[in-house]
Amino acid sequence: MMIRASRLAPTALIALFTLGSAQADEVQVAVAANFTAPIQAIAADFEKDTGHTLVAAYGATGQFYTQIKNGAPFEVFLSADDTTPQKLESEGDTVKGSRFTYAVGTLALWSAKEGYVDAKGAVLKKNEYQHLSIANPKAAPYGLAATQVLAKLGLTEQVKSKLVEGQNITQAYQFVSTGNAELGFVALSQIYKDGKVSSGSAWIVPGEMHDPIKQDAVILNKGKDNPAAKALVDYLKGPKAAAVIKSYGYQL
């Protein structure tokens, strides 16, 4: 039976509003830039399934660390590495026991041009390009991984003058997608959907060529009393979120 709001007493309206507020909360989330597309897809399902709302900010992990230490209002942190959440945990800035690995990232060498990057990345050694885009290795784990790959290939000095450095992995991707760099190291999740590279050409970098990109999530102290923060962390561990994460080329 439908109850019309106009027939409810003011106290009943207040009670209903309070009940709705208790059941649906908002969570402020700091999201590593490489995870932008997956979390946007997950957010829609999360809101539909739980009633909670996810409000995300995207950026470099190192920059988020500084913002969190300076009092930013984030309640959950989805990092691009595992060391930054561990550091926050050791410094007493997180809810004890909430940290876990939500994804393992994959690095890719990508060009917006079809056929430009070969399947083994030999284009790097040919040295026929003018610009190579990477994310800031001091702030972005994917940028650090890129420098490790270059070192392993013995190309660090050769490409030094050609590097175009983005503040985060999103900017590194944009340099390539706009043609300001012929190729660049990006997160596979930025160019991958449903089992294939969605545009351009790419070399999916073997994981043994750099340190594992383990991406940890953690509830920050500001989120300890927010049911939506715990609900999000639990949701990320569930099968529906896992399917989305895998579809963007991450491992679990």
Q: Determine the pLDDT at residue 3.
A: 31
- Cα angle vertex 218, ends 220, 193, to 5°? 130
Task: Supply 58's token pair.
Answer: 């995207």
The model's pLDDT over 226-237, given as tens digits with 9 standing for 90+, comes to 999 999 999 999
Give me the mean pLDDT over the 78-100 stretch: 97
Residue numbering of the annotated binding site for molybdate: 61, 169
Q: What is the pLDDT of residue 52?
A: 97
How far apart, in Å, are the Cα atoms of 135 and each of 142, 165, 181, 186, 187? 7, 5, 13, 8, 10
119 touches 147 (CB < 8 A)? no
Average pLDDT for the chain = 90
Crossing angle of the two packed helices 169-177 and 141-152, in degrees rounded to 10 = 70
Q: What is the pLDDT of residue 18?
A: 35
Please tell me the predicted confidence (pLDDT) of residue 11.
34
At 251, which amino acid appears?
Q
- Name the percent of the chain lying above pLDDT 70: 91
- Output the pLDDT for position 196: 87
Q: Which amino acid is at 155?
A: L
* Mean pLDDT on 229-251: 96
- How many other β-carbons are positioned within 10 Å of the β-carbon of residue 224? 14
Tell me: pLDDT of 17 over 90: no
Is the pLDDT at 116 greater than 60, yes or no? yes
Walk me through the domains of the chain, giving residue ranges and CATH numbers.
Answer: 26-104+213-247 (3.40.190.10), 106-209 (3.40.190.10)
**What per-residue confidence (pLDDT) applies to 12?**
34
pLDDT band at 126 (very low <50, low <70, confident <90, very high): very high
> Where do we find the tokens 């997956």?
38
Binding residues: 61, 169
Task: Name the one residue in this structure whose structure tokens are 């230490």.
Answer: 69
Tokens encoding 123: 């284009």
pLDDT for the residue 23: 58
Using DSSP, state whether 77 is helix, strand or coil.
strand
* Token duo for residue 55: 């409000």
pLDDT in tens, 151-209: 999 999 999 999 999 999 999 999 999 999 999 999 999 999 878 898 999 999 999 99
Query: What does the pLDDT average to over 3-27?
Result: 45
Q: What confidence score (pLDDT) does residue 217 get?
A: 98
